[in-house]
Amino acid sequence: MEAFFLLVIDLPKVILNVAWGTLLVIIAIILYRLLLRRMKRDVMDNSGFVVLHRSEKEPAWGAIQLYFTSEKPGKGIFRLYAKGGQAEWVLFDGEFKPGNTIVNFDTTKVPNGWYYYEVKTENQKTYKLLEIKNKV
């Protein structure tokens, strides 16, 4: 005996289920876009901050250029600290213009070792680590 199965499709019910699924997907997309729009509104304006860049020579030796960029003009101080915090050198103190601010520094003026260099403005303080290995 062979068994035959008759597949019965309730077409109106299938159409209704597809319509509900489509409606739920559309509602999810709308809610997601509203959430993104709200999150975008709460983003902080970074235009008043500076970006401190890494040294091009790692480890640094001889004359190097350290620089930071800013979208707006401002006033700041650029310092170099020994990693232990016992010594400090001020490399730049004053007004800077929008764009790149380059600070030239001769590493032979300090002993070999690890140092922090930082930029401090009225809005922020940012620093990076630098290894100085002058050739003897």
pLDDT in tens, 72-131: 999 999 999 888 777 788 999 999 999 999 999 899 988 888 999 999 998 899 999 999
pLDDT at 87: 76
* Whether the predicted model's global pTM rises above the 0.85 cut: no
What pLDDT was estimated at residue 6? 66
Kindly indicate the confidence band of residue 1, based on its pLDDT and cuts at 50, 70 and 90: low
Give the whole-angstrom CA distance, residue 122 versus residue 49. 9
Which strand (E) or helix (H) includes residue 68? strand 63-70
**Residues linked to residue 54 through DSSP beta bridges, in sequence order:** none
